Amino acid sequence: MYLETLQQIARTKSVSALLMGAGEYGFSFLAQSRRTPGLRVAAVYARRVERGVAAFRHAGLPEGAIRICDNLAKAQAALATGKVVVSDDALMLMQLPIDIVVESTGAPEAAALHADSALRNGKHVAMVSKDPTRSSGRCSIAGRKPPDWCILRWTVTSRAC
């Protein structure tokens, strides 16, 4: 019964995702997403844009379906025409009309920054990067208040143990 419900939802609603990081996990996630009804990875953040393009190509997208964008207007225009976006500007990508940010850069400080920006832009967040909460200590040492989600994640993790 639940499987039928999930399949029905996937046929009627699609979730648009922004993938942060085009490493091993990013390649795998992107390839699997192409076979997951109801999930569309609309954009990829990669420090080296050629790596993001390679991830989309590995997942089976033709070169013509991929746009490298360096500003919000170009990225929005690409998405409006059904293209996918690759950029090295993580914070710009957070402003796109997406539902969820999948954080898989593997860099704790970047993961904390990305999650904070995603939440501030009204996005859901799936954390794949390991141990982003340890960066909250560094934020405090540097005199900056850690993002609230870091504290929340710590609390939830602590209760689960």
Over residues 61-87, the mean pLDDT reads 98
- Tell which wins on pLDDT, 151 or 39: 39
Over residues 41-46, the mean pLDDT reads 98
Within 8 A by CB and 6+ apart from 43, the residues are 18, 19, 75, 79, 84, 85, 86, 87, 93, 96, 98
DSSP bridge partners of 41: 17
Percent of all residues in the chain with a pLDDT value above 90, rounded to a whole number? 58
CA dihedral over 134, 115, 124, 145, signed as positive or negative: positive
Min mean pLDDT across 39-43, 85-89, 129-133 is at: 129-133
Residue 112 · residue 136 · CB < 8 Å: yes
Global pTM? 0.77
**Tokens describing residue 127:** 């954390």
Band of pLDDT at residue 109, cut at 50, 70 and 90: confident
